[in-house]
Structure formats: C-alpha cells, structure tokens
Structure 1
Amino acid sequence: MKKSIKFIFSILFLYSAVSAQQKSTLVVVNNSSNLDRKEAIISIGWPAILKSDPKIDTANFKVINSATKEEVPFQLEHKGLLAIQNLLLQVSVKAKSKVELTILAGKASPVKAKTYARYVPERKDDFAWENDKVAFRMYGKALEKTSEDAYGIDFWTKSTSNLIINDRYKKNDYHKDHGDGLDYYTVGFTLGAGGMAPYIKDTVRYSGNYRSSKVLDNGPLRSTFQLTYDEWNAAGIKVNVTKTISIDAGSQLNKIENLYTYSSSGKLPVAIGLSTRNETAKKLLLDKTGVLGYWEPVHGNDGITGVGAVTLDPLQNAIDAPKQALGITAVKNNVPYVYYAGAAWNKADEITTETAWFNYLKNFQQELKSPLKVVVK
C-alpha cells in the first residue's frame, strides 16, 4: 500500500514538473490599421513574459505562429544592460486582422543575422551599420580636417539581403559595384541621409564628428548603438549630444534618438536634413506633418537614391535650403527626441520610383501612429 502511494505521488510530481516546464504563453498581435504589416519587428517587455511564465528558460524556448505552426524569428534585447529588456519578434499581420503566437519550451531554430553594427578603426574611425535592405555610416574623429571630411549620415546602397559591411571594408573598394551595391552617395558638408543639428539664425550649426561609440545590441533582428560628441559652440550656445541609433530588419529607416543638453533656456531649434543635388527641378516631399523625402537624379550607371525622414509630431517648417532639404523642429534640454531617417536604392528592385518612395515614407508615419497592439496572455 505504501509503495502504491509513493508511486502515485511520484507520478503526480513528475506530471507537475513536466507541466511546469511545458507551460506556454499566448501572444496576440492585432493590426487595427488599413496597412498590411510585413515582417514587422514588435517589442514585448520582458516583465510581461515573466509574468506569464516565471520559469521560462531563456536558452530553451521558441515562438510558433499558432495558425501556420511555423517558427517566428526572435531576439532578446538588452539595450546595453545585463538583464533582458524586451523580446523582439518579426511578424507579418494583414490589415484589420490579428495573429496569435505561442511561446513554448523547445530548441529554437537559428535566426539568420539581418542587422549588424560596428566601430571601424581601420577606416578612420567610421561607425557602420546595416540591415537586410540598407547600410549607413557615421564619420569619426580621425576623418576631421582631411579632404574626405563630412558631417551627416552616409548611405551605402545594397541589392542583397546578406550583410556586406565587413566584406566591403576588407576589400576597400566599395565605391564600385561588385554585384551587391556600392557607396556613391555624397554627404559633404550637409546632414546627409537624415542627420540632425542645431538650427540657429537660419543656419545649421554642425558639431564635430563623433568621439566615442558603444554597441548596445547587435542582431539578429535589431542592432542599436550610441554615439557621443564633444561639446561645441552653436552660435553662442554650448551644446552636447548623444545619439542612440537602431536599425530593424526589413526597414528602410533608422530610429534615431537624440539627447541634447545645452546652455540656453527654453527649447533648442534643430534641423533634420536631407542632402540634395544641383538640379533645376528637385523631386522633394516637404510635408510639415512630419514627412520629408527626396528622390535624387540618376547617377550614371549607379542608379537612383531616395532619402527621407519621418517624425511623429508636426514640424515647425519644411524648406528647400541650399544643398539640403530641412525639417525644422525643436528639442527640450535633456529630453530625448525621436525621429526616423533612411534611404532606398532603385537598383535593389523594391522601391524604384519617386512615388513608391514617398508612399513608403507616408505609410511609415501611419504605422507609427497606428502601431501593432500586443497582448500577452
């Protein structure tokens, strides 16, 4: 009798243990907008996951689309901290519909790296980053006071979903297209592909190039890094800035969070800039609701680049200034300002016309205003 009771308790114990290990979490992603969301990156706070499954094994779980039974790519986001901050998922959700996902125990399939960022000391302190659509770089201290010096964000075209930064720097021949794109974009003394700087007395007040960098997360679905700058004099105002930039898989645009501190009172006027070319009829989108776009003239056999920027809040003004289009806004002292900026290349065969590019930017703003809603059960 005692042996039977012990056996029953053993079975119950094992059942309880297995049940605890196999606990699943339901995630519902709802798209209430009129736009299909294709391979969008969503972020779920890790505390919400822990609340549903306090014993989740971070090294042994996977995410399944409840309808298709296919695995969903994910990333544990740390934001430069030891503890996990968010669970990132890449999902597609049709307009006016929802998708249900299940988080359960099991070995997840490897996720192909679709984003990457790194400091490039071998190329005069460049900082370069990319995803499966586009690539960019910022210039460092070593480039200052040289013939190559430039201020804004540089754009590298690419026609492959593979990561190309390391290969291009290694070959040191990235101004020629070897089959996957090239760097033909000219930044010069402008804000390039969506940089920001103080705008005082109708003049852009540029900083020096960045001084230090820190990678906070590095793929596979999102890469985030910080760039810090030395204090500079902006028309009598002492200004400092730290820029936190992240790029998501599948996006043409970067998320840019700028934290300004400065010596004056009130708000600091700033400009978001898009470098323009010397042409008589520019293909510009200057929408003060918060959408800036420029479709460049064809650059010989290199193709056509489109650049753009999007804000969630309206701009004070949007103007076609010498050498660049500017979106004028203002930032508060020691309060982050977030906007989005990036580019496209017609020879990537996804966004091939001015209309397609401007529509992409407008839709991007609508997606910001109507984000996917996530519920963890």
Structure 2
Amino acid sequence: MKKFFHCIFSLLFITSYAFAQDKYPIITIKNGSSIERADVLVSIPWTKILKADPKIDTAKFLVMNKYTETEVPHQLEYKGEKEVQNLLLQVSVKAKEHLTLIIFAAKPKAVTPKTYARYVPERKDDFAWENDKIAFRMYGKALEKTSEDAYGIDVWVKRTSKLVINDRYKKNDYHKDHGDGLDYYSVGFTLGAGGMAPYVKDSVRYSGNYKTSKVLDNGPLRSSFQLTYDEWDAAGIKVKVTKTISIDAGSQLNRIENLYTFSAQGKNLPVAIGLSTRNENEKKLLLDKNGILGYWEPVHGDDGITGVGAVTLNSLKSATAQSKQALGITEVKNNVPYVYYAGAAWNKAGKITNENEWFSYLQKYQNELKSPLKVSVK
C-alpha cells in the first residue's frame, strides 16, 4: 500500500511540473563500456541546456532520475567566467546501461559540499584543496629558501568524507592524526604526488614555487583553481607555466592541465611526471609506458601507507625509477595544454588498502577515460 501511494505521489509530482513547463529538457547518459561508473561527474555544456530550455532559471531547477524518481546532485560550473559554462551531474551508471534524467523548474535540495580549495596566506602561501576522499597542497613563494621548502604536490591523507583543510590549519597540529587523518607525506625536492616539470639533459628542471593563484569554482561537487609561475631557466630554455587543477567529489585523482610556453622554438619540451619514492630496496611500482605510473609506499609506523599515482591518455617515452622518484617522461607543445591526472590514496581510509588495489584503480581510471559516458540533451 505504501508503495502504491508513493507511486501516485511521484506521478502527481512529475505531472505538476510538466504542466508548469511548456517543455522540459531530457538528458540521456549512456555507458557503452563494460565498466560500472559509480558517483562520477558528468559535464554538460550549458549551451546544450539553454537550447533545450532557453528560459531555464539557474537558481530554480532540479534534475531528477526518471525511473528512480530521485534528485540528482548538480553544480553549475563557471571555470572563472561570469556566465555558466557547464552543468555538472553526479551519477552512477551500470555497465552497458543508460540513465534518463529530467530537468524541472523547482528549487533543488542543497548539496553538501564535497570539494574545497583555497589560498592559505596564514601558512606561507600554501594553496590547499580536497574532496571527500583525499587532500593536497602546493607551496607558494613565502616558503622558498626556507628549511621547509619543497617542490612537488603534497598529500594530506584523510579517513572522513568531511572537509578538513580549514580545521587542520586552524589547529595547526596536522602532523598528528586526531582521528580523521594527517599530513605525514614527504615531498622534499621531488615532484611529490604527480607533479610535472621540464626534463632537459637527463635532469628534472624545477621551477620555483607558484606565484599567483585564482579559484575558478569551489564546490560542491568540483573545485578548480589556477596557479601561475615565474619564468625560469631549464638548462638554457626559458620556461613559463600555468597549471589549472580540478578535483571532483569521489575521485582519488586530480585533473591537471599544464600550459607551457618556452623559448625552444620549433621544438617540443621534454617533461617529467614524478612520484616521490622512499629508500626501500624493492619498491612497489607500476611503470607503464602506455600512460600509468603508480607507487605504493612502505608502511610509515602508525601513520599507515600512502599510494601515489598518475594517469595520462598519452603514451610515455619512458618510465623509470630514479633514486628519489619514479618518472614518466613525455613532451609538451609550446602554448598547447597538456592534461593528465594524478593523486593519492591512504590504506587507513579503508577503500584502497594494498598495492594491487591501488594499481587496479589507476588502470580502471585510464580505461574510464578511454570510454567516456555519452550524453545527449533534448
């Protein structure tokens, strides 16, 4: 009987909005692959939504799954612009199946923020960001030439879906686990958890720390930001870079887009994607020239184990382990963005607990990139 009344209520609900709108957009999301997608973000150009419903009110619409009659979490993505660029939807789609979603003119439920990013002037120009799985930071100019200076991407491990960055900086005791994780990852003078730098004359040519930052979007489902760097000399090549980084709810990896400009005219610039390694004799590494780098660190006392990794759709020229880091060597074109994905996982978070699970995650991530969900709007 309860199920009967629920169906009647849902039918009346949908019908009432159908009469309230002359036309409502229908979104179809198809998963043609054999990989189940769970809580992933789908990006739909806002121009497609406007074409289907030119009068849509950005402050008053919700997206509903036609068959389950449940609301789908969404975010309007601006990418630093004044106008909406994309509609982001968090969905799950089984292998070889599809979703049918309907947009209604109604007030949506508030979405609990699952991502966050900010400049941290109170901690020597850090820039920190996180999602419901993991957290990261990059170092700014105020840290240069100090005893704490480091080059690459730092990791803050966590075992809570709550956002922790502000609380940890406020307490200023984040090197100790107070129940939700900590910062024990060591970057040093390496690329850390998937940083990139020019690789010229068989050496990594590091930049200084970032100079300026700009938040482009800040949750609830995706946070993105941009970092700019001063020009530096990479063994005779003058180089500048702008890094655009985004993190999605539910993902262990960041999307990193690097735009290099350099003085070597008519040539591509060799670059390295790096993962900081430790001093153990036999390292647990995945070095795949098809575009996957993975490393599972040794246990760090009571702090646990961190895995770091990087994924690209481009083949690597080489993938090697050096004394302090594993490197994947590729190249970038002058003033052409290069996109790859990098991040980390912590065994004490309980989702990924050993090297096999971490390497499988990275391989699955690349396979998902090769077979994106297909979206149509009408």
TM tier, smaller: over 0.9
Structure 1 residue 20 displacement after superposition: 6.5
Structure 1 residue 19 displacement after superposition: 4.7
Instruction: Give the aligned residue type for 2:271.
Output: V
Task: Identify the residue that residue 52 of structure 1 maps to in structure 2.
Answer: 52
> Quick one: distance in 1 between partners of 2:259 and 2:123?
27
Does the 8 Å contact 1:23/1:105 carry over to 2?
Answer: no
Q: Secondary structure at the match of 2:48?
A: helix
Instruction: Give the aligned residue type for 1:26.
Output: I
Correspondences of 1:18-97 after superposition (within 5 Å): 19=19, 21=21, 23-97=23-97
Structure 1 residue 22 displacement after superposition: 5.4
Structure 1 residue 23 displacement after superposition: 2.7
Structure 1 residue 219 displacement after superposition: 0.3
> Quick one: distance in 2 between partners of 1:34 and 1:271?
32
Structure 2: 5+ residue runs without aligned partners? 1-16
Task: Identify the residue that residue 194 of structure 1 maps to in structure 2.
Answer: 194
**Corresponding position: 1:323 with 2:324:** yes
Structure 1 residue 21 displacement after superposition: 3.4
Correspondences of 1:225-236 after superposition (within 5 Å): 225-236=225-236
Does the 8 Å contact 1:117/1:224 carry over to 2?
Answer: yes
Which whole-Å deviations, capped at 9, do the CAs of 1:195-236 have from their partners, x for residues lacking one?
000001110000000000000000000000000000000001
**Corresponding position: 1:256 with 2:282:** no
Which whole-Å deviations, capped at 9, do the CAs of 1:31-71 have from their partners, x for residues lacking one?
11111100000000000000000111111100001111111
> Quick one: distance in 2 between partners of 1:333 and 1:360?
32
Does the 8 Å contact 1:23/1:104 carry over to 2?
Answer: no
> Quick one: distance in 2 between partners of 1:187 and 1:41?
29
Task: Identify the residue that residue 9 of structure 1 maps to in structure 2.
Answer: none
> Quick one: distance in 1 between partners of 2:371 and 2:18?
40
Larger radius of gyration: 1
Aligned length, in residue pairs: 361
Does the 8 Å contact 1:241/1:261 carry over to 2?
Answer: yes
Task: Identify the residue that residue 175 of structure 2 maps to in structure 1.
Answer: 175
Task: Identify the residue that residue 366 of structure 2 maps to in structure 1.
Answer: 365
Runs of 4+ in 1 over 2 A off after TM superposition: 17-23
Percent identity at matched positions? 74
Output the TM-score relative to the length of structure 2: 0.94
Query: Greater shift after overlay, 251-260 or 19-28?
Result: 19-28
> Quick one: distance in 2 between partners of 1:205 and 1:294?
22
Structure 1: 5+ residue runs without aligned partners? 1-16
Does the 8 Å contact 1:22/1:105 carry over to 2?
Answer: no
> Quick one: distance in 2 between partners of 1:22 and 1:115?
35
Output the TM-score relative to the length of structure 1: 0.95
Q: Secondary structure at the match of 2:55?
A: coil
Task: Identify the residue that residue 11 of structure 2 maps to in structure 1.
Answer: none
